[in-house]
Amino acid sequence: MRILIVEDEKKMAGFLDRGLRAEGYAVDIAYDGEKGWEYAVTNEYDVLILDWMLPRMSGVDLCKKIRNEGRQVPILILTARDTVEDKIQGLDVGADDYLTKPFSFDELLARLRALLRRPHRLKDKTVLECGTMTMDLIKRRVVVEGEEIALSQKEFSLLEYLLRHEGEVVSRTAIAEHVWDLHFDPMSNTIDVYINFLRKKFGEKNIDFRIETVRGTGYRLVSEK
């Protein structure tokens, strides 16, 4: 899951960046509204977190502009404003949710999870399956034949991306864009290393699915059924 944060307060941006990375999200940061717009239209994000008061273009104007372009990406607006009219204005321009500063990081995470499981994103699914493997997106657990497989945040995100595209070849670039972030070099061997971590974790189990390498392109998760 890749998130764009548009926030001009460096301290707040850094706090969000560290916290969300620790949860396994890929994170990009823009420090003003114009840059945020540039990032939002050139990259594919799963959620945008926009601060309300931003230099060059406000979070509300940025939100409006994104919606006017017909983009459906979930948007959460952050702000110190907390009057009812402000909330209505934020939601009226197409934000999906609204969080008032100061907020608890756990609340932000819960709201992000709620946005990520909106029907237009997940087709209502909170559990993904492939063969005997199930991934519970709410509890963040992966189970194979009743046994939980412990995965790091990055392994979980990578597997989630493969599961969402089960049976399709996913390119290294697509994986890099959704699981890592802007500064990630898709030519490095990091993706292969993580694919091997996953294969090893499932290796000793009697499984009916596998991650295939598609030479020169990327990977494909397939079930044997």
Q: How many CB atoms lie within 10 A of CB 100?
A: 15
What Å distances lie between residue 69 and 34, 65, 94, 114, CA to CA? 15, 6, 12, 24
Q: For residue 84, what are its two tokens?
A: 């009812």
Strand ordering across the sheet containing 75-79: 26-30, 2-6, 47-51, 75-79, 97-100
Task: By CB under 5 A, tell whether 28 contacts Ca ion.
Answer: no
Residue span binding Ca ion (CB under 5 A) among the ranges 24-32, 43-51, 122-130, 133-141? 43-51
**Nearest residue to Ca ion, scored by beta-carbon proximity:** 53
**Binding residue (CB under 5 A) for Ca ion from 53, 109, 182, 207:** 53
Rule CB under 5 A: choose which of 17, 28, 51, 160 binds Ca ion.
51
CB of 8 to Ca ion, least distance (A): 5
> Least separation, in Å, of the C-beta of 49 and Ca ion?
12
Q: Which is nearer to Ca ion, 80 or 138 (CB)?
A: 80
Which range in 4-12, 140-148, 195-203, 217-225 contacts Ca ion by CB under 5 A? 4-12
Span near Ca ion by CB under 5 A; candidates 42-50, 53-61, 102-110, 128-136: 53-61
Q: How far is CA 122 from the centre of its chain?
A: 12
C-alpha pair distances (Å), 204 with each of 91, 118, 149, 201: 49, 35, 11, 7
Stretch that binds Ca ion, among 46-54, 92-100, 114-122, 144-152 (CB under 5 A): 46-54
Alpha-helix runs per DSSP H in the chain: 10-22, 33-42, 59-68, 84-92, 105-116, 119-122, 153-164, 172-179, 190-203
Q: How far is the CB of 53 from Ca ion (least distance, A)?
A: 4
CB of 138 to Ca ion, least distance (A): 31
Using CB under 5 A, pick the residue from 8, 28, 96, 160 that binds Ca ion.
8
Point out which residues bind Ca ion (CB under 5 A): 8, 51, 53
